[in-house]
Structure formats: structure tokens, C-alpha cells
Amino acid sequence: MTSPTDVSPAPILQLDQLNRRRAGRPAVQNLSLTLQRGQVLGLLGVNGAGKSTTLSMIAGALRPDSGSIQLNGADFLEQPELARRLIGWLPERAPVWAELTVSEHLDAHGRLRGLSGTALRHARTAIIERLELQPLARRLAGVLSQGQRQRLGLACALLHQPALLVLDEPANALDPVQVAALRTLIREQAASGTAVILSTHLLTEVTAVCDSVAILHEGSLRHEGPVHSDDHAALERTFFEIAMHGNTPSARAA
């Protein structure tokens, strides 16, 4: 387990010229991004823009065809075991082992991430309390609603206190109260030094919690910049310009 507040001069995540083909077409092309500790980056894009592929590669579930991923200054592709302690990942649709209870799920994730004994019990208890999963703790994951699965997936991602949190559509199937709780949680994590990268379709999600935004279109980065919570309209304009025309007006003019 790594404390997110560990002092290291290197950015927690650095993607350089990442490429990946899927189903015979380029899913991600020449993607370069940097993420600092405590930063919250929103990854926006229409369906098929390459968001989930990008996050899967960052999480270590998928290998890029070319390019490099530096995690905390180390080559992640050479040392995939870094994912174990540094990254927490909530995949899209939060897949679960249907036969296990919520509590057993957390234990299994904890063991896979190198926790055991008292440390595992403490981590499990803390995350169950933090995400208010007590009523679900003994319930089988297979019978949970999609919203409850999302919360379980989030708990699994946070269990080992990762330095980088990778969230793929985290607000999927959550009700408005849960969405508000999720935003609070993301802000808390960022305040404690955890870097967060999240993909979403919802522009409001980005303006509500993100410090910066990256917009992907057809697998490549078309816009990157800071987010101002009071400038939702500007972000919306940029997003729709890219979604409709493939680039921002300034980029097209250039």
C-alpha cells in the first residue's frame, strides 16, 4: 500500500505517444497526457472516442501497441506489478464476481492488491463505512442493482488507498444523491493527494469535480485544458465543436 502523500517529484502519470488498435481500427492514437498528484482530470468524448481503451491501458488491463506509460516516474509497461499498489480502477459497468458477497469481494480485491490480515480488515471496514455499504455487506454481488455495483466497484478501487484512481463512467446508474456523494468523495481523494482520472459523457460532471479536461475524438486528443466551474457553456461549445466537426474552431483555422 502506498500513501498518496508520498513525496515524489515525478508526475504520477505520464502518457507518451500511446497507440492502440482494436477490432482492426485505431482506438487510441498518439495520446500524450500528464497527471499530477491531487489533480482531477476529466476524459470526455462521444461513444467510441477511445476513453475506455485509454483508461484500460492506464489501469494495466490492456497493453498499448506502442508508446510509453510512466507511473510515478517508473516504466509501467516494464513493471506491470506497479498497478497493484499504485492504481485503483473502476471499470465501465463495474463487473463483479456474482457468487461473492460484497464483503468477500473487498477481501478478494484487497488480497489481489497485496493486503492481508489486520491491514485488510481495517481497510475493508473503513471503506464499507465511508461508502455506506453496511446494509449490503452480506449480500451477493450478483443480486446488486447497477448503482450498488458501481458503489462496490468504487469501494474495491479505493480499498488499498491508491495514488492514482482511474474511474470509467463512475456516475453510471447512480441516483442524484449518490452522484453528489461521489463528487464529494472525488474531491476528498484529490485533497489527500490522490490523482483522479475519470471518463464521462456528462459535462456537468467535469465542471463539478475536475481541475482539467481532455477531450478525445476518434482516439486522439483534440483538446486539453483547465476547467473553470463557472464556464460550463464554453466547455459545452468546445465539446460539441469536436463531436460535430472533429476539432475546435481554432484548431481548424490553424
Smallest separation, CB 107 to other proteins (Å): 9
Residue 226, classed as helix, strand or coil, is: strand
Closest CA to 201 of 42, 86, 1, 93: 42
Contact window for other proteins (CB under 8 A) among 7-15, 37-45, 97-105, 188-196: 97-105
Binding of residue 89 to other proteins (CB under 8 A): yes
Contacting residue, 17, 63, 188, 231, with other proteins by CB under 8 A: 63
Q: Would you mind telling me the total number of residues written for the chain in this entry? A: 254
Binding of residue 219 to other proteins (CB under 8 A): no
Smallest separation, CB 77 to other proteins (Å): 11
Q: How many CB atoms lie within 10 A of CB 141?
A: 22
**What would the grid cell of residue 136 be?**
449490503
Contacting residue, 51, 109, 124, 217, with other proteins by CB under 8 A: 109
Q: Residue 30: what residue type?
A: N
Contacting residue, 81, 175, 188, 236, with other proteins by CB under 8 A: 81
Nearer to other proteins, 46 or 61 (CB): 61
Whether residue 213 contacts residue 203, with contact meaning beta carbons closer than 8 Å, is answered with no
How many residues lie near other proteins (CB under 8 A)?
31
Q: Residue 153: what residue type?
A: G
Q: Residue 28: what residue type?
A: V
Q: How far is CA 202 from the centre of its chain?
A: 15
Residues of this chain that interact with other proteins (CB under 8 A) are 20, 22, 53, 56, 59-63, 80-84, 87, 89, 91, 93, 95-100, 104, 108-109, 111-114
